[in-house]
Amino acid sequence: MGAAWIPVAQHSAFWATVMIWIMWAGAVAALILAGRNDRVWQRSPVALYAGWLTAASVVALALVLAGNGVLDMQWAAVLGIPLALVIAVLVQRRRPDSPEYSAAVIWALTGIVVANLEPLNTPVAGLAAAGIIALASLAWWTGPRAA
């Protein structure tokens, strides 16, 4: 589905968003079902992919909502960031032995902070920064070192 996503995205943001959410569901299911013995080859790549798709799927949803006039860009971001964080917390709590998942979401949130520094968009940058702190804390306290 990932290979078909690009041509679909060029024609329909809505259907590309549907596809990315389907890819997200598959990646999170794969992460949850991944073996526990070989972190480097079984969990880490899937965790990074699932984390990236968590961020990308929420961004896609926010862009579709803003692009179709359902919300303005500011509100789409202000509502999308907490949605991504709720999803990320739920997934990370399900697989606390895979902090790479949160690392990928944190990477995306860092991009949001940087993109909203100039001009300064305090609500969006602040929410993203708070999300970074929350996910990093969760990964630290529940991660592999805690086991």
What per-residue confidence (pLDDT) applies to 147?
Answer: 46
CA distance 121 to 140: 28
Give the end-to-end CA distance of the chain in Å, rounded to a whole number.
36
Position 144 confidence tier, pLDDT thresholds 50, 70, 90: low
Q: What is the pLDDT of residue 146?
A: 47
Please say if the pLDDT value at position 145 is more than 90.
no
Please identify which residue in the block is written with the tokens 């926010």: 62
The model's pTM: 0.90
CA dihedral for 47, 86, 7, 110, sign (positive or negative): negative
Burial 114-128, CB ≥16 within 10 A → b, else e: eebeeeebeebbebb
Mean of pLDDT values over 61-84: 96
Return d(Cα 66, Cα 70) in angstroms, integer: 6
pLDDT in tens, 76-91: 999 999 999 999 999 9
